[in-house]
Structure formats: structure tokens, C-alpha cells
Amino acid sequence: MSEIGRYGTVLVVSGPSGVGKTTVCRQLLAAMPDLHLSVSCATRAMRRGEQDGVDYRFLSRSEFERRVAAGDFLEHAEVHGNLYGTLREEVDGRVAGGQDVILAIDIQGARQVRERLRGSLVGRCAVFAFLAPPSLGELERRLRGRGTDSEAVVAQRLANARTELAAWPEYDYLVVNGDVAHAVATLKSILEAAHAATRCVKADESADPLGLFAG
């Protein structure tokens, strides 16, 4: 049987700040090296240990706004007083070429992606996963444990988390991040199932993608 041409999957992972999106997504990347983890743009200050172009592309607010006006973003949102966004160039060509792309973005951003990709080729192959903490108490412990944010920032993130957690039914999957390895394995299974999804087969390029009727 010939290799089946397929579009890449866009895996959108959202969840409240501190739930472990970055850790889970980085471990997923280690387990599935062909994935691309979209590097977001952000206007917040760089944290200790972060690298420009690796963790985020750190932009000034004016540069970010210029790129919004230029239509460069697939989605963008103001989160905890800073601007964050996904560049179209992180997603479009890759998915068309068959590569999977993970977006670790907030809930407002995920809503935009869902709306904007509706009916499109990329949207057909998008899946949405909500990463939830095992409890609010555990989320608070993780936010404080990072030690990177002030008390006021932690309090704002916790308050936002209560509202954000209510958004889980908008997603295709609910993944509880109690144990990181388990959450990573679940996301890996979600991607593997998407690889077998008929909607992602490049059937429009050939009426016979499986070669069943050839010769």
C-alpha cells in the first residue's frame, strides 16, 4: 500500500496558567520529535532561564501591535495584562506539508483558532485539548512553586483560573495533569488517533489515496 498523504494535525492545548502546559508540551515534543511546538510572541518580560526565540519571541507592545495590523497572527489575546499571539507562519505551511503543530495557548486564543479555522483545511485537522489541574489547591501550589511571579501576579492568575476552568466543555478532550507522564501519554494517543482520521487524508489530491483501484 502506498504511503497515505495527510495533513498535519494542529493540537491546541489550553488550560489555566500554572497547570503545566509548557512542561507537558515539551515532554510530548521529546516523545514525538517530528512535532513542531509553535513559538508564541509575547510582550511580557523574559523570566529567568528563558530564551528569546525558544520560549517566546519577546516583542515590544508596539512591534506586536504592528504585526497584528499586518495580519501576521492566527490568534492573539491579552492575558494577565500582556499580549500573546500565534504567528500564522508557525502553523500554515507545516500543516499543509503533513507536520503536526502544538499550540499551547490560553482559552481566548483557542476560541479564535476554532472560529478562524472553521471550514478550512487546517481547521479540519485541528483538535482541542483542555489541560486541567487535579484541584485548585494543587494549581495554587504549582503557581507559587514556580517562584517566578510576585504575590499579586499569582493572585491574579488564580482568580482567572476559576473562570478559565469553566471552559473545559468547549474542548474535544479533557486531560487532567496530575501525573505529567500520564498527561503526555494521553496527548500522544490523541495525536496518534488524529493520524488515522479520514478527515486528514489528502483525498482531494487523489480520488484514490489508498491506491485501491490503481493498476
Applying CB under 6 A, the residues found at the interface with ligand 5GP are 17, 21, 40, 44, 75, 77, 79, 84-86, 104-106, 108-109
Which residues sit opposite 41 in a β-bridge?
57, 85
Cα-flanking dihedrals φ and ψ of residue 5, to 5°?
-75, 135
Nearer to ligand 5GP, 44 or 202 (CB): 44
Q: How far is the CB of 144 from ligand 5GP (least distance, A)?
A: 14
Sign of CA dihedral 155, 156, 157, 163: positive
Alpha carbons 66 and 142: distance in angstroms, whole number: 35
Least separation in angstroms between CB 75 and ligand 5GP: 6
Q: In terms of CB distance, is 23 or 206 closer to ligand 5GP?
A: 23
Q: How far is the CB of 163 from ligand 5GP (least distance, A)?
A: 12
When the beta carbons of 121 and 153 are compared against ligand 5GP, the nearer one is 153
Q: How far is the CB of 210 from ligand 5GP (least distance, A)?
A: 37
The alpha carbons of the chain give a radius of gyration, in whole angstroms, of 18
What cell does 179 get? 501525573
* Residue among 105 and 200 whose Cβ is closer to ligand 5GP: 105
Helix (H, G, I), strand (E, B) or coil at 133: coil
Q: Which three cell numbers stand for residue 72?
A: 501576521
Residue with nearest beta carbon to ligand 5GP = 109
